[in-house]
Amino acid sequence: MSDEGFDITAYKMAAEALPHDYLCFLNTFSEIESDGWLRKLHDHASWADIGIARATASLESVRESMKSMSKAVWLCVQGIPYDPLIVERWGHEILRFAPHWLARRPPSLYRRARRPAGRVLALKLFALRPPSRQEVEDHFEIVCAKRGAIYAKLPSFPNPHIRTNAFMMRRPVFLEVLPPTLGTKEDCLEFESGHTSMTNSIVQRGLHAVVVGDDARAYHSSEWSSSKTFRSGAQENILVSDNRTRAFETMLPAGKKLYEHWTWHGSDNPA
């Protein structure tokens, strides 16, 4: 099978080729964390009223969290003074996209920083004088409007959605909820967490989307935040981990608190 495209593209190709009643999808970041994980997923996916059983899910608005994260990285690229609190909250992302700021190197007139969407941009510092807070806000809104279209159409919080890795469902249902096109990053984001997401399509069919834990219990959306799976507790109840769950484990406490609030409370400023 070709490795081109995105995870969902490969899932679609597999679903069209395989004759099985139930399909379980994992990507290359998946690591099994629970004995009997496949049976646990199937035990719930096989219920008549369950449309999908998954190892992790979220209420996060990717539009809101990506904008906030992008702003923190962008300000570091602009050369704001080093601040330990920023490191505690945003160090994981700054290390990826603005490592020079963590090293406290003298800012130059131009910096190159990797955007969350993966592209490299040349960002110009404000010249000659420090900008006011309002100028920073106004300038960032302009940058976000130009560069953030990929996230702009996604729902606000709360946005219940199953994360599209390590999930099981009936093959006919999966083929029914697939969108007509999956050729772009926008298509895949919409399928996972957009207004017409796989989760919303399943719920509209009168079916439930559940998270299954290592404890073999199915958690409905009202219980996801307490399931101790994705960004919940120490994630000790997770069936299958991935790059996102492992990244959460390596964050400093303030960063974990921030991401947990994004995921389950929609707040940028956890108490």
User: How far is C-alpha 208 from the geometric centre of its chain's CA atoms?
Assistant: 21
Please report the pLDDT score of residue 85 as a whole number. Answer: 84
120, pLDDT greater than 50: no
**For residue range 175-221, what is the model confidence (pLDDT) as tens digits?**
999 988 877 888 888 999 999 999 999 999 999 999 999 999 999 99
Q: Which residue has the higher pLDDT, 73 or 43?
A: 43
Q: Which residue has the higher pLDDT, 1 or 62?
A: 62
> For the residues 3-11, what does the mean pLDDT come to?
74
Confidence of residue 119 (pLDDT cuts 50, 70, 90): very low
Burial 36-51 (b: 16+ CB within 10 A, else e): ebeebbebbbeeeebb
**For residue range 147-176, what is the model confidence (pLDDT) as tens digits?**
556 677 889 999 999 999 999 999 999 999
Identify the bridge partners of residue 32 per DSSP, sorted by sequence position. Answer: 240
Amino acid (one-letter) located at 79? G
Cis peptide bond prior to 158, omega within 30° of 0: yes
> For the residues 87-108, what does the mean pLDDT come to?
76
Amino acid (one-letter) located at 115? R
266, pLDDT greater than 50: yes
Q: Which residue has the higher pLDDT, 45 or 102?
A: 45
Residue 267 CA to residue 271 CA, distance in Å, equals 9
Please report the pLDDT score of residue 110 as a whole number. Answer: 34
List, as one string, the DSSP characters of 238-250: -SEE-HHHHHHHH
Residue 88 CA to residue 98 CA, distance in Å, equals 15
